[in-house]
Structure 1
Amino acid sequence: MTMSQPSPSKTPMTAEGPPAVGSALQALRQSQQLSLDELSRRAGVSKSMLSQIERNLANPTVAVLWRLANALGVSLTDFLAQGTAAPQAPAITVVPPHATPALKSPDTRCELRILGPIDMAGRFEWYELSIQPGGVLASEPHEAGTQEHLSVLTGSMTVRSGGDEKKLKHGDTARYGADVAHAIGNPGKSVATALLVVVHPGT
């Protein structure tokens, strides 16, 4: 979800799965001829943290990744896509689980697996969302006209968009504006999973 997109999260990108956040950050920073000091000022992230991220010594939270992406003028998905190869696509492309980027909230209660292809980022995106009991994935407003579609696969969830809130059970789909503050929560006692689709204006 380009989530100002679903917001917080720690992104435990595994070594074998794309993308390499550290090298991506360094490549983007150097291509814009930015020093660590300048990027630190723009993003509000300490110089020492930036250095650790570039050397893959620290796992940045989604909030930090968003600040860096905004400071560099790229979307989060484009940021995560930096440095990945673009080979000629075969007739059928299979992405194994370990190669699917995943974002986790700081409390680890929410996880988003990015299922959509990089070249559709900013237009049409979809995710597999898992929320532990009591977890809440809160997001700031996206660009005007953005819509989200949430289909609950297991468990139950609540959706809040603006001043409205609905409870969803297994099989329900909620469609709502994502250009206002919105949140998805799990009020149940077991893990809840859903398919989350984000449709940007003009799509």
Structure 2
Amino acid sequence: MSKKTPRIGPAIQKQRKQRKLTLEQLSLQSGVSKSMLSQIERGEANPTFAVVWSLTQALEIEFSDLIGASASTTAHDQIEVTSASHTPEIRSADGSCRLKILSSPRLAGQSEWYQVEIEPGGRLESEPHTLGTFEHFTAMADGVEVTSAGSSVRLKAGETARYPADVNHSIANISGAVVQGFLVVLYK
């Protein structure tokens, strides 16, 4: 059985149209620019977890409903479990980077964490997040290069880079094999 990446863009568009909202109206309600909304809906941009959270709040829907995983979480007393098949996943526009969203939707805009997989030669490039945001990336293999504000470091397996993310930054695979790691984003 193959696992499919949730189609967030078309799902957002469907929810927006069901509510008879224009792109401009949803932009005003969510704080996400009209051009970004348009790109997301067309599948040309992969939104950050915080952007998706803003959209779900504006549309008054649960994050799990957006990705079609409303039955994916089960409660065992106070423990919430999300199955692997319902863990949301986003990909870079070129398909070379895959991020599994491991954090709870309730923490969006405060902290987010991801399992990251990057193909050889792939680069996860990010524009600045909100002022004071920091990222922590732990490499699970050699061959990762982290760049923030023009400074770069190469990581070995098990090393963690902590860096400002309120500037342009990237995580690149400079090895000849797929690399994985864990990314934590902390918003101030």
1:71-101 CA distance string (max 9 Å, x none) = xxx8223436173659894322221111011
Task: Give 1:187 shift.
Answer: 0.2
For structure 2, the residue ranges without an aligned partner over 5 or more in a row are 28-32, 57-62
Which structure is richer in relative contact order (CA contacts within 8 A, separation 6 or more)?
1
1:36 and 1:162, CA in 2 relative to 1: closer, same or farther beyond 3 A?
closer
Counterpart of 1:61 in structure 2 is 44
- Work out the CA distance in 2 between the residues paired with 1:166 and 1:122: 27
TM-score, normalised relative to structure 2: 0.74
Aligned: 1:128 with 2:152: no
Rounded Cα–Cα distance in structure 2 between residues aligned with 1:159 and 1:200: 19
User: Are residues 23 and 13 of structure 1, via their aligned partners in 2, closer, same or farther at CA, if it must alter by over 3 Å?
Assistant: closer
CA-CA distance at 1:45 after TM superposition: 7.5
Relative distance call for 1:165 and 1:121 in structure 2 (3 A) is same
Structure 2 match to 1:44: 35
After superposition, the C-alpha distances for 1:149-173 in whole angstroms (9 at most, x for unaligned) are 0001123200000021000010100
1:145 and 2:136 equivalent?
Answer: no
Aligned to 2:55: 79
Q: 1:26, CA displacement in angstroms?
A: 3.3
CA contact (8 A) 1:150 1:175 kept: yes
* 2:168 matched residue in structure 1: 181
Secondary structure at the aligned position of 1:154 is classed as: coil
Alignment partner of 1:26: what SS? helix
Aligned residues: 169
What displacement does 1:196 show?
A: 0.1
For residue 113 of structure 1, what is the amino acid of its counterpart? K
What code does the residue aligned with 1:131 have?
I
- Kindly provide the amino acid, as one letter, of the partner of residue 52 in structure 2: L
Q: Which runs of 5 or more residues in structure 1 are unaligned?
A: 1-10, 15-19
Residues 1:167 and 2:154 aligned together: yes
Q: Structure 1 residues 92, 187: CA separation in 2 closer, same or farther (over 3 Å shift)? A: same
Measured on the aligned residues, the alpha-carbon RMSD in Å equals: 3.3
- Alpha-carbon distance between aligned partners in 2 of 1:158 and 1:100, rounded to the nearest angstrom: 26
* Equivalent pair of 2:75/2:81 in contact (CA under 8 Å): no
Q: Which amino acid aligns with 1:134?
A: G
Moved more, 97-106 or 165-174: 97-106
1:118 positional shift: 0.3
Q: 1:96 is aligned with what amino acid?
A: S
Structure 2 letter corresponding to 1:26:
K
Aligned to 2:15: 27
Matched, 1:12 2:5: yes
Residue 62 of structure 1 contacts residue 103 of structure 1 at CA under 8 Å; is this kept in 2? no
**Residue aligned with 1:62, SS:** coil
